[in-house]
Structure 1
Amino acid sequence: MIEVDGVGRSFTLRHRRGLLRGETRVVHAVRDLSFRVAPGEFVGYLGPNGAGKSTTIKMLTGILAPTTGRIEVAGLDPSRRRTTLARRIGVVFGQRTTLWWDLPLKDSFTLIRHLYKVDREVFRKRLAELCDVLDLGGFLDKPVRQLSLGQRMRGDIAAALLHDPAVLVLDEPTIGLDVVSKSAVRDFLRDLNAERGTTVLLTTHDLGDIERLCRRVMLIDHGTLAFDGTVEELMATVPGETSIEDVVTRLYTRRLPL
């Protein structure tokens, strides 16, 4: 479902030095990155700040084009077929909403239906299902700006799934949520993957999400893939540790010598 082959992404930064002089520097955010995600997998994508996670997500969703290498998501080149790909993937950014701030939540969903050209009856059935499992009924008529963070996050997840995507990309989907809301979101994502076979790529700093949801974990550092395996294999890299948080912290501290 996701294929990444030898992908690199560079940025050219220009700094002014004085009135007439400038300095150019090339930053390699991602270097020779390769991995595959099979249909139906739930994969965690981890790394310290600045490791290249966000750049990878932006390339997978077509926001950025790779400088080198090849990417396919759901059989499409994301940067060249971005509009078509949008109908096959769902994206949730925990720090940014895709909902209309001043509109009631249900009106945002209606606009999304028109954007994705979802059949009215299919939309009605899908929304009813999402309202049930995400418990949205109590605040559908509220403007998005009046929702709590937990309510907004559930709304964003529903918005990303209204067109029934084959791939769901999650960037910090439980950031800032209380214990109850976090548990509800985790349960929903687990059931979505198990029952509908939706392929999920999750990037998060909350390692509780990884422990409870992911069978496979990839670690990126300095733009390169440092680890790709099961959670059990990751735990085995640091003997004696009993939590994934302690293992990942140790690996980050010693800069992932795997």
Structure 2
Amino acid sequence: MTTADGTGRTGGTGGTGGTGEAGGAGEALIEVDGVEKVFDVRRKTGFLRSERRRVRAVDSLSFTVRRGEMVGYIGPNGAGKSTTIKMLTGILTPSAGRLRVAGIDPSRERTRLARRIGVVFGQRTTLWWDLPLIDSYRLVHRMYRVPDARYAENLDRCVELLGLGGLLDVPVRQLSLGQRMRGDIAAALLHDPEVLYLDEPTIGLDVVSKVKVRGFLRDLNAERGTTVLLTTHDLTDIEQLCRRVMVIDHGRLMYDGPLTGLHEVGESERTLVVDFARELPPVETDAARVVRVEGPRQWLAFPAGRSAAPLVARLAAEYPVVDLSVREPDIEAVIAKMYAGQVVP
């Protein structure tokens, strides 16, 4: 387990990721060394008066991602996640430090790098708004000069696995958020990128769509060894896809290691919400503690690194359970504990 030191930093930038043997064993595909990004922001202070202040969005950030890894990159809003992704794609230039993606400096050779990476921003589409979905794919085909046979193979695979068959002739503006997100993921993969950056790829998706997207990404990594850097607020995405997670806050890397280790460091808890057939006294079990009771509904907290299955099985066997659900821990609460000094190094 990686533990935080006195400054909130963590010991290493290693960890395992991906599926199969690629994680931790392949060549370094993404190298971030002492990177900083500072923005000059002007704020109005009065009539015809303003002041300029410097905002440090990324602060002395260093990590390495090896070929074939699937790495979760998480943190609260404003932590510096999207700024990092934009520097890795060449959209932004670092204020200091060194970046390399597949041996390329993103800000100096953005066009060359574009052929080797795929990007999906959950809040913005790369598709052409008024064109049918298939026309966006044809434009990607020509822009990246993908060989016809390879384009056809990749398109067929994405359409099948992401459930896009009935949407190809629909204008992008008429797609739901979940449909558009799946369309964006397909567009990002038609040119066989080595690295895929996903910024909130499951935002706004229904449960079925989330399962479909996660399965697709898992297969993509296993079969083609695509390196994935995933930013999300949904810890279920991380748990089902990534063995390694990096936590960033205030532009600094606070943790780098397995997700189970993060839960242990942050002492986080999952919550099992149980609806019983009738109102009952608080459940008595050593596996969890009751934190709230409202009529026939009870909330039970248990360590986030522990499986919910044994607890669910016991409750189902001993009590009249009508329904239940598991709520994941709030990553912002975990980070808050780190900053509050509640974590023992």
TM-score, normalising length: structure 1: 0.95
Task: State the AA in 1 paired with 2:62.
Answer: S
- AA aligned to 1:111 is L
Indicate whether 1:248 and 2:331 are aligned: yes
CA RMSD of aligned residues (A): 1.6
- Rg (Cα) greater in structure: 2
Aligned equivalents of 1:95, 1:19: Cα separation in 2: 35
Q: Which residue of 2 aligns with 1:225?
A: 253
**Residue type of the alignment partner of 1:89:** I
* Residues 200/240 of structure 1: CA separation in 2 closer, same or farther (3 Å cut): closer
> Is the CA contact (8 Å cut-off) linking 1:167 and 1:200 kept in structure 2?
yes
What is the CA-CA distance between 1:20 and the residue it aligns to?
5.1
Determine the C-alpha separation between the residues in 1 that align with 2:113 and 2:268. 44
Kept after mapping to 2: 8 A contact 1:10/1:30: yes
Distance 1:191 1:31, change over 3 A: same
SS at match of 2:59: strand
The one-character-per-residue Cα deviations of 1:161-195 (angstroms, maximum 9, x if unpaired) are: 00000000000000000000010001101111111
Residues 61-111 of structure 1: CA distance to partner in whole angstroms, max 9, x if unpaired?
Answer: 111000000000111111111111110000001111110111111111001
Cα 1:36–1:196, aligned 2, differ >3 Å: closer, same or farther? same
The equivalent residue for 2:43 is: 15
1:82 and 1:155 map into 2 onto residues whose CA distance is 24
The total of aligned residue pairs comes to 258
What is residue 142 of structure 1 aligned with on the other side?
A: 170
**Secondary structure at 2:61 match in 1:** strand
Matching of residue 53 in structure 1 with residue 81 in structure 2: yes
Counterparts of 1:100-115 in structure 2, within 5 Å, are: 100-115=128-143
5+ residue gaps, structure 1, are none
Counterpart check, 1:191 vs 2:219: yes
- CA distance, structure 1, for counterparts of residue 207 and residue 253 of structure 2: 31
Q: Is the 8 A contact 1:238 1:247 kept in 2?
A: no
Gaps of 5+ in 2: 1-28, 270-302, 306-327
Q: Distance in 2 between matches of 1:248 and 1:124?
A: 40
Q: CA deviation at 1:246?
A: 2.2
CA distance in 1, matches of 2:212, 2:178: 10
Per-residue CA distance 1:6-35 (angstroms, 9 max, x = gap):
000001112344455431111111110000
Q: Return the match for 2:144 from 116, 141, 147.
A: 116
Question: What secondary structure, in the 3-state scheme, does the structure 1 residue paired with 2:201 have?
Answer: coil
> Contact conserved, 2:161 with 2:216, CA < 8 A, in 1?
yes
Normalising by structure 2, report the TM-score. Answer: 0.72
The share of aligned pairs that are identical, in percent, is: 65
Q: Secondary structure at the match of 1:236?
A: helix
Contact 1:8 1:67 in 2 (8 A): yes
Deviating beyond 4 angstroms after TM superposition, the runs of 4 or more aligned structure 1 residues are none
Is residue 192 of structure 2 the alignment partner of residue 164 of structure 1? yes
